[in-house]
Amino acid sequence: MNQAPTDRTRIRRVATNAHYDSATLHAIIDDAYLCHVAFSDDKGTHCIPTACWREKAHLYIHGSNGSRMVKRLLESACCVTITHLDGLVLARSAFSHSMNYRSAMIYGRFEKVAGADARHAMEAFMEKIVPGRQADVRPGSDKEYAATTVLRITLEEAACKVRSGGPNDDEEDRDWPAWAGVLPFERARAAPVVDPACGLAAPGYVLRWPQG
Amino acid sequence: MNQAPTDRTRIRRVATNAHYDSATLHAIIDDAYLCHVAFSDDKGTHCIPTACWREKAHLYIHGSNGSRMVKRLLESACCVTITHLDGLVLARSAFSHSMNYRSAMIYGRFEKVAGADARHAMEAFMEKIVPGRQADVRPGSDKEYAATTVLRITLEEAACKVRSGGPNDDEEDRDWPAWAGVLPFERARAAPVVDPACGLAAPGYVLRWPQG
């Protein structure tokens, strides 16, 4: 990741919340299962959610060879954004209300990952989704791999914006008699739901799921 | 919402998961605090997370008058996307793995909401964030309203895609000895964090927060 922001990635609104370091960026990506990919074509600008994962200094996605998104992303530049909502910030004045969040924006162009690298990347994806799962499943066939495109984008041109902590009321509002603080969100894991046709004992990664 | 998909909103990949009805669209928006807005300018295509809320058949956002996003959205078309991740779907074959989600895409152009309508919209936003909060806070001043732009986009050209339920393995994979089912996610509410400078008793909407 480029430590110096570019003209596109320099954050101007509440610039004190900006982060341009790889550690912050990697943590935001690694905590996500989905990103939103924005790209443009002759029908307009599109914003499509898709599964993502990271290996070293690239973000990966995949799709069917024939999908519009895959075709367009190999042809032109895009913007990939990930956002985690961490809480509602209740300030004493209406306009000082805010949200706590961690977001990352990546600008660039996807490149195709082929052959053994694509297989390796898809296995890394499974490992990210559920560590330990890969060894249990019926592996992808040559035909399945041939019908799937794996894409990656470098994390060189990226920026993060993070807000955390309590409300920041202006001095003159601090005596206003309204409760102030944060109402936090968490991504929780609920009890696994077994396929009715599955008679197998739950493996460790399923048993451990609700505890995270 | 237009019940018939347009060329842009017709879902082609797993078209059985497509929904074009207002009830599905409204439920997805109403369950969200954030959307991703994609738009293009001379620096490329951008994808920016921002708070959103709905009133009747419009999605609303707001921003500082001077923000790039506000300026661009008043000049050109965009795509607004909301995605809720509900679970990881573990199938018996690697390539049949999926995610459960609810997503909505809206195409169109934002228009500016002014005067009393903007005040009403911002109060509806507060009511969405925390019902009952508006009565407690120091209301927005004329100066604060004047510095803020409220925008809305019609929900006429929109599409939803929803996946729910268990894995769909191909017939020939159904005897593969891998556990199959869903690992669900939930957006949980954690205990409120009071501002250390706040000595007031927590109001009902804060006391009730952790229970949703």
**Residues with pLDDT less than 50, chain B:** none
Rounded Cα distance between B41 and B64, Å, is 18
Span A86-107, average pLDDT: 98
In chain A the domains, ranked by start, together with CATH numbers, are 15-168+185-211 (2.30.110.10)
Q: What is the pLDDT of residue B205?
A: 96
Interface with B, mutate which of A90, A169, A209 (most B CBs under 10 A):
A90
From chain A residues 21-80, the ones with a CB under 8 A of any chain B CB are: 33-34, 36-40, 43-49, 51, 64, 67-68, 77-80
The fraction of chain A above a pLDDT of 90, given in percent, is 91
Is residue A30's pLDDT more than 80? yes
Is residue A32's pLDDT more than 90? yes
Rounded Cα distance between A68 and A63, Å, is 9
Q: What is the pLDDT of residue B14?
A: 84
Is residue A193's pLDDT more than 90? yes
A139 interaction partners in chain B (CB closer than 8 Å)? 94
Does the distance separating the beta carbons of A88 and B129 come in below 8 Å?
yes
B107 interaction partners in chain A (CB closer than 8 Å)? 44
| Short-list B157, B41, B39, B7, CA closest to A68 | B7
Using an 8 Å Cβ cutoff, are B181 and B114 in contact? no
Q: What is the pLDDT of residue B65?
A: 96
Q: What is the pLDDT of residue A211?
A: 78
Helix H or strand E encompassing B143: helix B142-146
Span A184-207, average pLDDT: 96
B101 interaction partners in chain A (CB closer than 8 Å)? 34, 49
Q: What number is the ipTM of this complex?
A: 0.96
pLDDT category at A1 given cuts 50, 70, 90 is low
- C-alpha distance from B91 to closest chain A C-alpha (Å): 8
